[in-house]
Amino acid sequence: MFDDTIAAISTAVSASGIGIIRMSGVRALEIADQVYRSKKKGKRLVDVPTHTIHYGHIYDRDGIVDEVLVMVMRGPRTFTGEDTVEIDCHGGIYAMKKVLDAVLGHGARIAEPGEFTKRAFFNGRLDLSQAEAVMDVIQSKDRYALKNSIQQLRGSVKDRIIQIRKVILREIARIECALDDPEHMSLDGYGEQLREIVNVQRQEIDRLLSTVESGKIIREGVKTVILGKPNAGKSSLLNVLVGEDKAIVTSIPGTTRDVLEEYIHFGGITLHVVDTAGIRETADIVENIGVEKALDQAGQADLLLYVADASVPLDENDLRIIEMIRDKQAVVLVNKSDLPAVVGVDTLEALTGKTVISVSAKEGSGLERLRSCVESMFFQGSLDLPEDVYITSLRHKNALEEARESLDQVSESLDAGMPEDFYSIDLMHAYETLGYILGESVDEDVINEIFESFCVGK
């Protein structure tokens, strides 16, 4: 579909062991031949077998640029489906840019963000759900996110959607054939058959939609907000979780005024940890803004960590926080367990109805139990994903919900005894909407928006 050749640095533009410059397009081998010289005189890359690696040097008009290995891959057996050349050079920033300049100087153009993957999509190597999974693989923050992204890249979402669409299309064809040739194909008694088929496919869609919340957590991490009254040890807990002093810790109550955010790997999962201002009534304008931000963050959280100071009695601020966490996913951390306790674990369990863990932010004790508790809350205590696919894309979620509404409309038409062509219209809408997930009938603006989020070399 493309008559030009693109090129980009596909590794990080920073000092490293190696750097890779990738080219894809109809002139990739020809351009590579113009900048590559082998020690074997007369060797031409356009003549070598596909999927082979060749040692030599890259030249520009001033002479040798770098010592390289060149990988030659002929389409369609490549990522993009086109002829592709990857030049492995030394990983210096200047060296990589010089090699890139050499190929650009002989007719390649710089790739747009995500253009290699976009070409893979347009050339039929990937559907749109798989193309999106490429970026999810790159951005994976933990083992769960990586496993789910790889499954989607291998077609877990695509296969499920194709199967649902196949069933729907079969029923559309049956209705249309019967309407076109009623003498030879009857729809007598078909309504109840269709009702059962629609119910089964709606259940499949509901099953996918039921994974959306977990999918969001897998992709973005568990949004974890630390709550507590001033000087309870929230910032100390953040520092222990992160493994460095990110938050200022003092004995002065109200030190934390703003929201501090960090991503941490916690026993194989990712926590998006948010430290907030201490919850209390205050006349200080700045601190009060911090408290309002804390309350707002708590409302958006997947998990609340309520830090209670074991060395002082509970007060009205604690009781306010206890009411906030009552209907939320939350764990109570009794901090300062290294000091004489005034507040007991039993008391807090009775008041909150939540799991209560005794910790010491100062010594780092109790964190292993916290890790196990969080895994149990969000992944049923298993280190393996219980489902084979999770929906992590808002675009996919919206399309599934729209398809389910169309199937609901079919059921309503059956209940109302509507003519068969009404069933066909809604079935077709469900079929087309599910195709939107795969990249069928997608607006160019949507495609561009998806690939603009990619890095240039991908």
Spatial neighbors of 419 by CB under 8 A, at least 6 apart, are none
Q: Is the pLDDT of residue 382 over 50?
A: no
Q: What is the pLDDT of residue 245?
A: 53
Token pair 């990988």: residue: 71
Query: Locate tokens 């077709």: which residue?
Result: 428
Q: Is 324 helix (H, G, I), strand (E, B) or coil?
A: helix
Give the pLDDT band (50/70/90) at residue 243.
low
Neighbour count for residue 456 (Cβ, 10 Å): 16
Q: Are 241 and 359 in contact, with CB atoms under 8 Å apart?
A: no
pLDDT value at residue 249: 44
Pairwise CA distance, residues 401 & 80, whole Å:
32
pLDDT at 58 over 90: yes
Amino acid at 305: L
Q: How far is CA 428 from CA 6, 26, 339, 410, in A?
A: 38, 38, 67, 10
Mean pLDDT, the chain, as a whole number?
85
Q: Which fold would CATH assign to domain 218-379? A: Rossmann fold (3.40.50)
Does residue 202 carry a pLDDT above 50?
A: yes
What pLDDT does 251 receive? 45
288-312 pLDDT per residue, tens: 677 777 778 888 888 888 888 877 8
Residue 87: strand pairing partners: 21, 70
Identify the helix (H) or strand (E) that includes residue 69.
strand 63-73
Domain 5-127 classification at class level: alpha beta
Worst-scoring range by mean pLDDT, 52-56, 164-168, 301-305?
A: 301-305
Confidence class of residue 422 from pLDDT cuts 50, 70 and 90?
confident
Q: Confidence band (pLDDT; 50, 70, 90) for 136?
A: confident
Instruction: State which fold the 131-211+392-438 domain adopts.
Output: Four Helix Bundle (Hemerythrin (Met), subunit A) (1.20.120)
Query: Which pLDDT value is given to residue 252?
Result: 43
Contact 152/130 with Cβ under 8 angstroms? yes
Q: Most confidently modeled of 109-113, 212-216, 364-368?
A: 109-113
DSSP H or E stretch at residue 228:
none
Rounded distance between C-alpha atoms, residue 147 and residue 133, angstroms: 11
* Residue among 178, 182, 186, 194 at smallest CA distance from 417: 194
Name the percent of the chain lying above pLDDT 70. 88
The percentage of residues in the chain with a pLDDT greater than 90, rounded to a whole number, is: 40
Helix axes 156-180, 420-438, angle to 10 degrees: 150
- The amino acid occupying position 383 is L
Q: E strand or H helix at 260, and its extent? A: strand 260-266
d(CA 188, CA 177): 14
Residue 164 DSSP one-character state: H
Write down the domain spans for the chain: 5-127, 131-211+392-438, 218-379
Give the tens place of pLDDT for each residue, 317-370.
Answer: 888 888 888 888 888 888 776 666 777 788 888 888 888 888 876 677 778 888
* pLDDT at 258 > cutoff 70: no
Q: Kindly tell me if the per-residue pLDDT of 146 is higher than 80.
A: yes
For residue 398, what are the contacts with CB-CB under 8 A and spacing of at least 6? none
User: In this predicted structure, what is the pLDDT of residue 246?
Assistant: 52
338 vs 170: which has the higher pLDDT = 170
CB of 135 closer than 8 Å to CB of 146:
no
- Residue 70 pLDDT > 70: yes
